[in-house]
Amino acid sequence: MYHYIESGLKNIWLRNGYVEHDTPYGKGVSVEDVTGLHEAIALQLAKKPGKLTGPEIRFLRKEMEMSQTSLASFIGVSAQSLALWEKSKGRITVPAERLLRLIVKGHYNGNVTIRRAIEVLNSLDVEKHESKLVFQETDKKWKSAA
């Protein structure tokens, strides 16, 4: 068995699905389907009993390709709170944890609404927001001019 610490989690072991090989630096390991493995890990974390740990929260967020700001906004907490949870310096609230688990399940099970919400939040993270908002009236309806 292979102890798969590359995920950032200490409790992941692989029974198969990897290949060991020699490199100039020693033994190397290649995982055959990293994407599928990470999806399986995320879905298992979403349904595991007990509280999620900081590294598990971080793993789930990164696997959904969300920033701390985006995920925090999605679940209704500050980015600072989320950062503390990921560093195991704060405790995730029960409602936030339930919502995170629901988001993960929806993300991987193809829930279009959840996936679209994630895309919108991620796009907001990369957009530059100007301090001046400009509007114009067209067809007797106000719209953003940007």
Tens-place pLDDT, residues 33-67 = 999 999 999 999 999 999 999 999 999 999 999 99
Q: Which residue has the higher pLDDT, 65 or 123?
A: 65
- Alpha carbons 135 and 146: distance in angstroms, whole number: 8
Q: Is the dihedral angle over the CA atoms 140, 142, 143, 146 positive or is it negative?
A: positive
25 has a pLDDT exceeding 70: yes
- Alpha carbons 46 and 57: distance in angstroms, whole number: 10
Q: Is the dihedral angle over the CA atoms 75, 79, 84, 87 positive or is it negative?
A: positive
63 with 42: CB under 8 angstroms? Answer: yes
Strand ranges (E), the chain? 2-3, 13-14, 18-23, 26-31, 135-138, 141-144
The pLDDT of residue 23 is 92
The pLDDT of residue 61 is 96
Percent of the chain at pLDDT > 70 equals: 92
- φ/ψ of 139, rounded to 5, equals 50, 45
Beta bridge partners of 23: 26
The pLDDT of residue 125 is 62
Q: pTM of the full predicted structure?
A: 0.77
Average pLDDT over residues 116-125: 74
